[in-house]
Amino acid sequence: MRQFLICILVISLFACNTQEADTIFYHAKIYTVDTAFTTVEAMAVKDGKILAMGTEKEIREKYKAKATIDLGGKPMFPGLIDAHAHFVGYGQSLF
C-alpha cells in the first residue's frame, strides 16, 4: 500500500509539470536571432509573449495550449515588425 501511495504521488507531481500557453507553433523553422543565429522547431506563446522555444517534443511536454498551429516546415520570424516600406521605391528616392 505504501508503494502504491508513493507511486501516485510521483505521477501527480509529474502531471502538474505542464504550464498553460495560448498557442503552440510547431513543425517550423523558427529563427531565434540570438548570437548564434540558431533555429528551433517549436514555440509556446501566452498573452503575446514568447514563453519558450525548442524542439517540438520539449515544448509539447512542458506546455499545453488552447490552440496549436502546424506551420508545415515554413520559416517563422517572431518579433519581426514590418514597417511596410516599399524598398525599391524608397531606395530610388534616396538617389
Q: What is the pLDDT along the chain (95 residues), one digit of tens a residue?
A: 667 656 565 555 555 568 999 999 999 999 988 888 899 999 999 999 999 999 999 999 999 999 999 999 999 988 777 667 777 888 888 88
Which residues are paired to 91 by β-bridges?
A: none
What is the pLDDT, as a whole number, of residue 10? 57
State how far Cα 88 lies from the chain centre: 33
Query: How many Cβ atoms sit within 10 Å of the Cβ of residue 88?
Result: 8
Residues contacting 74, CB < 8 A, separation 6+: 28, 29
Q: At a CB cut-off of 8 Å and minimum separation 6, what does 9 contact?
A: none
pLDDT of residue 67: 96
- What is the pLDDT, as a whole number, of residue 42? 97
Q: Give the pTM.
A: 0.68
| Placement of cell 511536454 in the chain | 61
Alpha carbons 95 and 93: distance in angstroms, whole number = 5
